[in-house]
Structure 1
Amino acid sequence: MKYTTEVTVDLPRDEFIKKLDDPENMKHWQKGLVGYEQLSVKPGLEGAQMSLTYKMGKRDLQMVETIIKRNLPEELHTIYDAKGVHNIQKNYFHEVDGQTKWVSECEFQFSGLGMKVMGFLMPGAFKKQSLTYMQDFKAFAEKGISVLDT
């Protein structure tokens, strides 16, 4: 399953990247994030990995993020691996008139019958979640609104 989402954030690209690239800020725009742990000696570089833990309703979700391309401020590509799900995310950042247009191309690959069925029956839920994270980042970056306050 593939889809693209985008949002325009009213910040210059350098400020946008500074906020996006700080893992301490993730808790302010990724609802459900319980914690993260750097798994690499040199975090943030290509090949670096980070473990992420989320609380989604009653279930806990563990995933590992791997940076596969880091060409900031233009692009950042990552892979997210969780049980039954492999997500390739290619993020592009375009500065337009002092604002930043964030375009995210997502590809989900499912393994296991349960995840394949969920991906087939509910593809809109994945896109909606991706867009929600992007809109929550926009609110945090522009206005300092944190998902922790809601």
Structure 2
Amino acid sequence: MKYSCTVEINQPIHKTVALWENENNFKEWQDGFESIEHLSGTRNEKGAKSKIILNGKRKIELVETIILNDLPKEKTALYEHIHMTNTQTTRFKEISSNKTQLISEVEYTKFNGFLIKMIAKLFPNKFKQQSQKWLIQFKTFAERAS
């Protein structure tokens, strides 16, 4: 399953990228974000691994592996969870001196377990809706930041 989401943010590209990259801001726009723990490699560089914990309706633990970090152009990471594996590529494009387009491309490559496979097959839009929701929440957060 593959999809993309986008949002335009009323901030310069350098500020938008800095806000998006700052791990202290994740809780501001990712529902349930609890923590990120650096595991290995040089932080934010190719090969770096981190454990991310989200705690909403249920606790979710992901291992993030950076595949490419060439920001502001793009950043690609692999996310592995007990029930699914996906890659996410995030791109930033300057629209004007005070407007940035944020594009997120997500590809789920593996689902483990009957229930998650059924959810992905029957309700594929749920995954995209969550990604788009986080982009909109990031936009709101970024536009309030000064």
TM-score (norm 2): 0.93
Q: Deviations over 1:12-64 (max 9, x none)?
A: 1111111111111101111101111111252111111111111121x111101
Amino acid of the residue matched to residue 11 of structure 2? L
- 8 Å CA contact 2:3–2:128 kept in 1: the answer is yes
2:119 matched residue in structure 1:
118
Quick one: distance in 2 between partners of 1:54 and 1:16?
Answer: 23
Amino acid of the residue matched to residue 73 of structure 1? P
Quick one: distance in 1 between partners of 2:4 and 2:144?
Answer: 25
2:143 matched residue in structure 1:
142
RMSD (CA atoms): 1.1
1:92 matched residue in structure 2:
91
Amino acid of the residue matched to residue 20 of structure 2? L
1:81 matched residue in structure 2:
80
Amino acid of the residue matched to residue 140 of structure 2? A
1:36 matched residue in structure 2:
36
- The total of aligned residue pairs comes to 143
Quick one: distance in 2 between partners of 1:5 and 1:41?
Answer: 29
Q: Can you give the 5+ residue segments of structure 1 that lack an aligned partner in the other structure?
A: 145-150
CA gap 1:124/1:19 in 2 versus in 1, 3 angstroms? same
Quick one: distance in 1 between partners of 2:144 and 2:86?
Answer: 29
Quick one: distance in 1 between partners of 2:84 and 2:117?
Answer: 9
1:133 matched residue in structure 2:
134
- Deviant stretches of 4+, over 4 Å: none
SS in 2 for 1:44: coil
Amino acid of the residue matched to residue 117 of structure 1? M
Quick one: distance in 2 between partners of 1:8 and 1:132?
Answer: 13
Q: Can you give the 5+ residue segments of structure 2 that lack an aligned partner in the other structure?
A: none
Q: Deviations over 1:88-140 (max 9, x none)?
A: 11111100112110111111121222211111111111001000111111111
SS in 2 for 1:39: strand
- 8 Å CA contact 2:9–2:101 kept in 1: the answer is yes
1:106 paired with 2:106, answer yes
TM-score (norm 1): 0.91
Quick one: distance in 2 between partners of 1:142 and 1:66?
Answer: 29
